[in-house]
Amino acid sequence: MNKLFTPGPVEVVPEVLKQMAKPMIHHRGKEFAELLTNCVEGLKKLMYTENNVFISTSSSTGLMEAAIRNCVKDRCLNIANGAFGERWHEITVANGKKADLLQIEWGKGVMPDLVDKKLNENEYDTVTLVHNETSTAVCNPIYEISEVIKNHDVCFLVDAVSSMGGIKIEVDKLGIDVCLFGSQKALALPPGLSACSVSEKAMERAKTVPGRGFYFDFLVFQKYWLKKQTPTTPALSQMNALNYQLNRIFKEGLEKRFERHKKMAETTRKWAKDNFEPFAEEKYASNTLTCVSNSKNVNVEDMISKLKQRGYQISNGYGKLKNKTFRIGHMGDITIGEVKELLNNMDEILAVI
Ligand code: PLP
């Protein structure tokens, strides 16, 4: 079995996996109400928010679609500096909404003044942003961007899929209306579950937006939350793992967890600089994964398969960056020692290929 240094799914520790084997409970009873409440309270703490938090039996893409269907009224601005930013645009268009794409070079950070300029050009009611672009390992300057967004009357939808739990995101301070993420990245849980915070502004907006669909209607989510239930059968095993893992995360301490991610990133980036070149602009390099430019033109597939023979898995570049880059995930519960062990193995492989 390979140790995963992929940018999701990531390694899940055995004690968390064990939670998935707990006997089932019924989801319309007291025990479930307690489980749901604990999960939601924990997620609020993780996200630094007092907003509604909904848990969804879907991957994160489901909640991206939910955010668009519930919040976009007339016109949306999709900001993209990578594949997942472009995915926001595809989802917006696929849901029949009017949308413009602000395309920024892959590898570069999103600059707040550009966002401001674009928002002044048209009557937008919604803006989408990917906080941490998993395709390029760019972490956008969300604190600066949010200052600009606050000057416009828009719903601010943020994909924090590969950063939540590894990088600090203070949802309320940033004025994020919908902040979404999945279980299989920095939270170090198995895939299959996602969650999002939804502000009062976004809830009010949803009331005015027709065609919210059935499965992902925020108003229905809220109606059931008031009864401490979910509208449809929840992923109980995943929620047991989430509840347990949130407690482990708080035991480590959020600040310590963010610091550990920073250290793992610094070590990996140094390795990338010594051996290749990091793909992302240095100032905006992510703390949860590193995208490495294949500046030495090595056979990436061969390197990955040799690593697998040693029991480690990393990822090739995403989409158009395949073979031109490769990505090392350093998120979740892995340690700096494990990252060093991976990099030592990569050194040994690179010495002979
Ligand atoms: N957004 C980002 C930044 C991602 O990294 C991913 C998956 O890697 C997604 C969205 C989509 O997540 P999922 O495949 O879990 O729906």
Ligand 1 center to residue 84 CA distance, Å? 7
Taking the C-alpha atoms of residue 169 and residue 160, their distance in angstroms, rounded to an integer, is 8
Backbone angles phi and psi of 112, in degrees to 5: -55, -40
Residue 331: DSSP 8-state: -
Compute the distance between CA of residue 344 and CA of residue 338 in angstroms, rounded to an integer: 10
pTM, entire model: 0.98
CB of 61 sitting under 6 A from ligand 1: yes
Query: How far apart are the C-alpha atoms of 189 and 187, rounded to whole Å?
Result: 6
Cβ contact 60:180 at 8 Å: yes
When pLDDT is cut at 50, 70 and 90, the band that residue 39 belongs to is: very high
Q: CB neighbours of 268 closer than 8 A, spacing ≥ 6? A: 290, 328, 330, 339, 343
Classify residue 134 as exposed, middle or buried by CB count within 10 Å of its CB (0-12, 13-18, 19+). buried
Q: At what angle do helices 200-208 and 60-71 cross, to 10 degrees?
A: 60
The Cβ of residue 236 has, within 10 Å, a number of other Cβ atoms equal to 18
- Among 79, 136, 162, the mutation site with the greatest number of ligand 1 atoms within 8 A of its Cβ is 162
C-alpha Rg value of the chain to the nearest Å? 20
Residue 314 to residue 327: CA distance in whole angstroms: 6
Q: Report helix, strand and coil shares of the chain as percent, to nearest 5.
A: 45, 20, 40
Report how far ligand 1's centroid is from the alpha carbon of 127 (Å). Answer: 18
pLDDT digits (tens, 9 = 90+) for 209-218: 999 999 999 9
Helices and strands: H and E segment counts in the chain:
13, 15
Ligand 1 within 6 A of CB of 134: yes
Residue 269 · residue 285 · CB < 8 Å? yes
How far does residue 209's CA lie from ligand 1's centre (Å)?
25
Tell me, what's the pLDDT at 115? 98
Q: State if residue 59 touches ligand 1 by the CB under 6 angstroms criterion.
A: yes
Q: How confident is the model at residue 236 (pLDDT cuts 50, 70, 90)?
A: very high
Nearest atom in ligand 1 to the alpha carbon of residue 194 is 15
Work out the pLDDT band at 3, boundaries 50, 70, 90. Answer: very high
Count Cβ neighbours within 10 Å for each residue of 82-91 and write b for 16 or more, e otherwise.
bbbbbbbbeb
State which ligand 1 atom lies nearest to the alpha carbon of 191. 15
Q: Is 8 in the pocket of ligand 1 (CB under 6 A)?
A: yes
Tell me the per-residue pLDDT of 260-278, one tens digit each, with 9 for 90 and over: 999 999 999 999 999 999 9
Instruction: Average the pLDDT over 253-265 and give the result.
Output: 98
Kindly report the average pLDDT of the chain as a whole number: 98
The Cα 252–Cα 245 span in angstroms is 11
- Check: CB of residue 277 under 8 Å from CB of residue 292: yes
Where are the strands (E) in 246-323, listed by range? 277-278, 289-293, 312-313, 315-316
DSSP conformational letter for 214: S
What per-residue confidence (pLDDT) applies to 353?
A: 85
| Strand ranges in 72-162 using DSSP code E only, listed in sequence order | 75-80, 98-103, 126-130, 132-133, 138-139, 155-159
The reported pLDDT for the residue numbered 32 is: 98
d(CA 149, CA 143): 10
Residues 152 and 118: beta-carbon distance below 8 Å = no
- 60 Cβ inside 6 Å of ligand 1: yes
In this model, does residue 50 exceed pLDDT 90? yes
The predicted-structure confidence for 69-110, as pLDDT tens digits, reads as follows: 999 999 999 999 999 999 999 999 999 999 999 999 999 999
3-state secondary structure of 273: helix
Single-letter amino acid, residue 152: H
Q: Percent of the chain scored above 90 by pLDDT? A: 99
Ligand 1, residue 64: give the atom nearest the CA: 10
Distance separating the N- and C-terminal Cα atoms of the chain:
23
Here the tokens at position 137 are 């390992």
Q: What is the pLDDT of residues 155-204, one digit of tens each?
A: 999 999 999 999 999 999 999 999 999 999 999 999 999 999 999 999 99
By alpha-carbon position, which residue is closest to atom 5 of ligand 1?
134
* Segment 121-143, tens digit of pLDDT: 999 999 999 999 999 999 999 99
